[in-house]
Structure 1
Amino acid sequence: MLTATKLLPRAPLQAHDLVVLDYDARLIRRRRLATVQGTAFLVDLPSLTNLDDHWGFELSDGTRVQVVAAEEDLIQITGDLPRLAWHIGNRHTPCQIEPDRLLIRRDPVIEAMLVRQGATLRPVSEPFTPEGGAYGIGRTMGHSHGPADHGHGHSHDHFHPHPHP
């Protein structure tokens, strides 16, 4: 089986194939993937990686495979966007922020809360690329306000390969 030998941070001059992944599948460490043309390959990265921060892979045979965000069932949110974004963020829900709308994955509880806040909701199907982590890399995968928050002494911080200033 082919293996991914390089994670590509930028688009090369030519892509040979595509792999289409939803939001959850774009968070990867080790997994077998298949391209749209049916080529299977193994990804074995040193740590959990958000593929939204990367362009694609170079395989052991030299093939370059572009990562493309799959269409997903989402909710388009319009209304008082700053206030609605605050409520979505307060619930640690991944959110794609655009000038005239917000997008989240389908969640009946969050949807009901947003309607109570005066939002207008519309189902859409499109790629989901929510806002990343607060430090400009990776995903928002939880946080810690300190051990008193959860009654235990460990953090829920997300992993990323750089120190915080």
Structure 2
Amino acid sequence: MLTLHTKIPSADIIAAQLVLPYELREKCRLRATLDTGEDVAVFTVRGTVLRDGDLLTGEDKRVIKVVAALEPTYKITCADAHTLLRCAFHLGNRHTQAQVGDGYLRIRADAVLKEMLAGLGATVAEEKAAFEPESGAYGGGHGHHHEGPLAPIPLRQKIHRPGDPA
């Protein structure tokens, strides 16, 4: 099984894509399947978030591109900036991860939050979209680069996927 553990800034050749929803791009240990059908193990330092477009490699030097999967989200727009800021405040007050776009917010689909946002005067549209929330005030920027492996690489560790037989 291919093991991916090192983030690189660029590559001439991309061997495959690893398409993952945000919830899996936050995990530090992960077994997944590339778009080619090959199984891979991903090892990162706790707290690392894989972003759309990140490039990963391992011992065999093949380069794999991380792609943000389309997932159920709500795109939040408002008639004015003040209302959008109020929505952002209330989402933050509930510790809700949010993607900030030009004139909109995007969150994971959640019926309770949808109702709250509509009550604040927002237009909430269901969308299948790549979810790339803000990393947070202490999470570092998108430009942070690691040299070498992202985490210690276990010699023999089985990575289990939800749904795998016990």
Report how many aligned residue pairs link the two structures. Answer: 137
Say whether 1:91 aligns with 2:90.
no
Identity among equivalent positions (%) equals: 36
- Of the three residues 109, 113, 118, the one matched with 2:112 is 109
Q: Name the SS for the 1:102 alignment partner.
A: strand
Q: Is the 8 A contact 2:16 2:34 kept in 1?
A: yes
- What residue in structure 2 maps to residue 161 of structure 1? none
Structural RMSD (CA): 1.8
Question: What TM-score, normalized to structure 1?
Answer: 0.76
2:16 is the alignment partner of 1:14: no
Who is 1:154 aligned against?
none
Higher relative contact order (CA 8 A, sep 6+): 2
Alpha-carbon contact 2:52-2:68 (below 8 Å) kept: no
Secondary structure at the aligned position of 1:49 is classed as: coil
The more displaced of 26-35 and 49-58 is: 49-58
**Hey, which of these two has a bigger chunk of strand by percent?**
1
Unaligned runs of 5+ in 2: 142-166
* Residue 44 (structure 1) shift: 2.5
Instruction: Give unpaired runs (5+ residues) of structure 1.
Output: 139-165
Alpha-carbon displacement from aligned partner over 1:11-63 (angstroms, at most 9, x marks no partner):
32221110000010001211212110112122233434211287121132221
Q: Is contact 2:52–2:66 with CA below 8 Å preserved after alignment?
A: no
Stretches (4+) displaced over 4 A? none
Measure the CA separation in 2 of the matches of 1:85 and 1:5: 35
User: SS state of the match for residue 92, structure 1?
Assistant: coil
Does residue 41 of the first structure (1) align with residue 44 of the second (2)?
no
- CA positional deviation for 1:65: 0.2
What residue number does 1:162 align with? none
8 A contact 1:77–1:119 mirrored in 2? yes
Contact kept in structure 2, 1:27 and 1:50, CA below 8 Å = yes
TM normalised by structure 2 equals 0.75
Aligned twin of 1:124: 127
Q: 1:97 is paired with a residue of what secondary structure?
A: strand
For residue 134 of structure 2, what is the amino acid of its counterpart? E
Q: CA deviation at 1:5?
A: 4.1
CA separation in 1, counterparts of 2:27 and 2:125? 30
Aligned-partner Cα distance in 2 for 1:75–1:14? 35
CA contact (8 A) 2:5 2:44 kept: no
Partner of 1:141: none
1:76 shift after superposition: 0.9
